[in-house]
């Protein structure tokens, strides 16, 4: 079981889904738009009952993006319906932050829903909070879709994320 979680953790930081808007940019200007990249800076292993910073850095090419909107969606594995959505504030060049405290040990997931211009990018991140009993962690079957997006047309793609 532990090994499975480690494998999942390795893929968790990768960018997932939500690419439908990117095509908008290619119309008319004839050049390939520069991709927006969102990197979650918060470590995967965090302490329980300790205030930490949820943090993501937004760049486009070699430029920091300071006018993006970053919403951190955080939920305990298997309990996405009970998750919360917190907007990050610009705290440094291209870096969006909010304080957060995990009050219970467990495995958690986060999407850093990031909108920058015509782009929507939402990297997924996994947290191991404290020392959870892995045998009691619920499986997380949430997809990369959310209500502001259409359903994933290709659910298989999400499962294989990280294997390219
Ligand atoms: Cu999103």
> Which tens digits make up the pLDDT trace of 153-163?
444 444 444 44
Give yes or no for residue 1 having a pLDDT over 70. no
CATH number of 2-138: 2.60.40.10
Bridge partners of 110? 74, 125
Tokens found for residue 121: 């990018």
Q: What would the pLDDT profile of 36-82 be if each residue is shown by its tens digit?
A: 999 999 999 999 999 999 999 999 999 999 999 999 999 999 999 99
If you measure from the C-alpha of residue 140 to the centroid of ligand 1, how many angstroms do you get, rounded to a whole number? Answer: 17
pTM assigned to the model = 0.71
Distance from the alpha carbon of residue 62 to the mean position of ligand 1, in angstroms:
23
Block residue for tokens 């404290």: 130
Buried b (16+ CB within 10 A) or exposed e, 53-77: ebbbbbbbeeeebeebebbbbbbbb
Task: Give dist(CA 140, CA 74) in Å, integer.
Answer: 13
CB 79 within 8 A of CB 97: no
Pair 38, 69: CB distance under 8 Å: no
Longest Cα–Cα distance in the chain: 53
**Ligand 1 center to 113 CA (angstroms):** 4
- Those residues whose beta carbon sits under 5 angstroms from the ion ligand 1 are 18, 113, 122
pLDDT of residue 70: 98
Task: State pLDDT tens for residues 12-32.
Answer: 334 444 544 444 444 555 667
- C-alpha 83 to ligand 1 mean position (Å): 14
Distances (CA, A) of 143 to 56, 104, 108, 140, 155: 21, 23, 14, 9, 8
Q: What is the pLDDT of residues 129-146, one digit of tens each?
A: 999 999 999 999 887 655
pLDDT at site 3: 52
């Amino acid at each position: 079981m532990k090994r499975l979680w480690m494998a999942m953790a390795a893929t968790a930081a990768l960018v997932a889904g939500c690419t439908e808007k990117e095509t908008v940019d290619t119309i008319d200007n004839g050049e390939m738009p520069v991709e927006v990249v969102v990197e979650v800076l918060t470590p995967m292993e965090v302490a329980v009952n300790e205030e930490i910073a949820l943090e993501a850095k937004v760049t486009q090419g070699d430029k920091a993006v300071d006018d993006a909107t970053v919403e951190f969606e955080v939920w305990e594995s298997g309990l996405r319906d009970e998750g919360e959505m917190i907007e990050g504030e610009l705290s440094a060049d291209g870096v969006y932050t909010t304080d957060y405290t995990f009050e219970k040990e467990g495995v958690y997931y986060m999407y850093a829903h990031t909108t920058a211009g015509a782009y929507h990018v939402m990297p997924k991140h996994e947290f191991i909070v404290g020392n959870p009993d892995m045998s009691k962690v619920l499986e997380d079957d949430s997809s990369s879709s959310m209500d502001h997006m259409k359903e994933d047309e290709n659910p298989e793609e999400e499962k294989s994320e990280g294997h390219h």
